[in-house]
Amino acid sequence: MQDWINYLTTNPLIGAVVLAVLILFIFMVVARLLKWAIISFILLALAIGITYKVAPKKILEHMQKGAEQVVKDVKSDKVVKEVQKSAEKAINKITK
């Protein structure tokens, strides 16, 4: 459920569409237009179902890209040298 909410917050256009369909459903129920209320409920169910199914895949792809970037950064010589320097400084402080 949290993944779906995160997906909707990162894609505001899709979130707006789901919200618009929800408002349409509530309006139709209040207006007692049962036929339109059923149609808008079906549209709402489809919108929620599609976004709920797609959201975990998109989040997983985003996490994989982030992990690949972290691995590239860690493999770079700059990071390794900086870690070695900080480790040497820490060892010098401990031995003194």
| pLDDT tens digits, one per residue of 15-54 | 888 888 888 888 877 777 777 778 888 888 888 888 777 7
pLDDT for 79 beyond 80: no
**33/94 Cα distance (integer angstroms):** 77
| Contacts of residue 47, Cβ cutoff 8 Å, sequence gap at least 6 | 17, 18, 21
Asked whether residue 87 carries a pLDDT value surpassing 70, the answer given is: yes
Sign of CA dihedral 77, 81, 87, 91: positive
Global pTM reads 0.41
